[in-house]
Amino acid sequence: MDPSTLAVTLGRGAENPGDPVNAPVTFTSTYRAGGDVTYARDDNPSWHPFEEILGGLEGGTAVAFASGLAAASAVIETLPAGAVVVAPADAYNGTRRLLADLESRKRLRVNLIDMRGWEETEEACEDADLLWVESPSNPLLSIFDVDGLVQLGHQCGALVAVDNTFATPLRQRPLDFGADVVVHSATKLLAGHSDVVMGAAVAVQDDMIDALRTRRSLHGGVPGPMEAFLAARGLRTLAVRLERAETTAVELEVRLADHSAVEVVRYPGFGSMVSFDVEGGAKAADRVCEQVQVIVPATSLGGVETTIERRSKWALETHLPPGLLRLSVGLEHVEDLWDDLARALG
Ligand SMILES: *Cc1c(COP(=O)(O)O)cnc(C)c1O
């Protein structure tokens, strides 16, 4: 079935006459003794609809986490002490902060590289235990050869993890290329309404799935039942939201590229994210964020509302062009968004 159909049909729970069409939200910390589940840090039926839908879309088994970084931490925590992680130097800044923290405490060795260079990647991979891939990358929207990187990582004996937050399983399925684990910030497009923080890791191999569930239980990065409900509800409409946002993003990209105040536009050809550099650097970019009225100046992305942010204002993002604005395209009408942007740029 088409992913848009799977998103609607999966994760409904029991299907007997009289059953609710939507699985109920289970607010419980514990379960009556004698059953398979004993305590809600190990499992909660409220996680299952989200896990079944996302797992179906990615082609694996999804494990829900309290946030995208909780999922990333769980993947990294499967590594032994002193393991080597190779990651892109322009990965999401939270991932880089996590890796830097682990390295500073001698938990891991971290090698941040320019993954656009194949030779540099090949060389770094030689002693890697984990190859971390993020494509498209946040916020430069670089595209990497996920298929090739999975093969390279495996030749080196490394696990390969792919952060698929920007592409979503509707535009890229890394498990089909043999990736060992896919990581998501469900906070973004999957939940899609800027009202929940949640994450997930998806894998095919039983030992990886078990390891992820064990990390979730031991480190306690469990999503709340309400969050899991909201994220599952968001997934139901992912396909239509993404289609609409993508159509608008393509049109905005074309118009931005034509605008005299815009130096560079970055758009990977799919998805809802557009990054562009305005002439005049940080000051001019800040002015755009102050002038927009329909678009919301805010961090994060993937919601129904269009948001804009100058990314270089953050520590660890100083490698970015100072005038780079990251636009997360939402569901407003393209002409209203363009009027707003053109006015702010003017
Ligand atoms: C936001 C984000 C994360 C972190 O997810 P949280 O849900 O905020 O913990 C990881 N990767 C990418 C690409 C992101 O955009």
For strands 199-203 and 181-185, give the pairing. Answer: antiparallel
By most ligand atoms within 8 Å of CB, the mutation choice from 50, 67, 69, 90 for ligand 1 is: 69
Query: Measured over all CA atoms, what is the biggest interatomic distance in the chain, rounded to whole angstroms?
Result: 69
Residue 139: asked if its preceding bond is cis (omega within 30°), the reply is: yes
Return the pLDDT at 14: 81
Is the pLDDT at 314 greater than 90? The verdict is no
Bridge partners of 111, per DSSP, are: 86
Q: Residue 341: which pLDDT band, with cuts at 50, 70 and 90?
A: very high
Return the pLDDT at 257: 98
Which amino acid is present at 76?
A: I
Q: Residue 306: which pLDDT band, with cuts at 50, 70 and 90?
A: very high
Tell me the C-alpha distance between 195 and 166, whole Å.
Answer: 18
* CA 281–ligand 1 middle distance (angstroms): 26
Q: What is the pLDDT of residues 144-188, one digit of tens each?
A: 999 999 999 999 999 999 999 999 999 999 999 999 999 999 999
Q: What is the pLDDT of residues 48-81, one digit of tens each?
A: 999 999 999 999 999 999 999 999 999 999 999 9
| Residue that wins the pLDDT comparison between 96 and 317 | 96
pTM above threshold 0.85: yes
H helical segments located in the chain:
3-9, 48-58, 68-77, 93-104, 118-125, 146-155, 206-219, 225-236, 238-257, 281-291, 334-345
* CA 15–ligand 1 middle distance (angstroms): 34
Pick the residue whose CA is nearest to atom 8 on ligand 1. 68
Q: Residue 275: which pLDDT band, with cuts at 50, 70 and 90?
A: very high
Tokens linked to 80: 């032994």
By most ligand atoms within 8 Å of CB, the mutation choice from 76, 93, 138 for ligand 1 is: 138
Nearest atom (ligand 1) to Cα of 70: 9
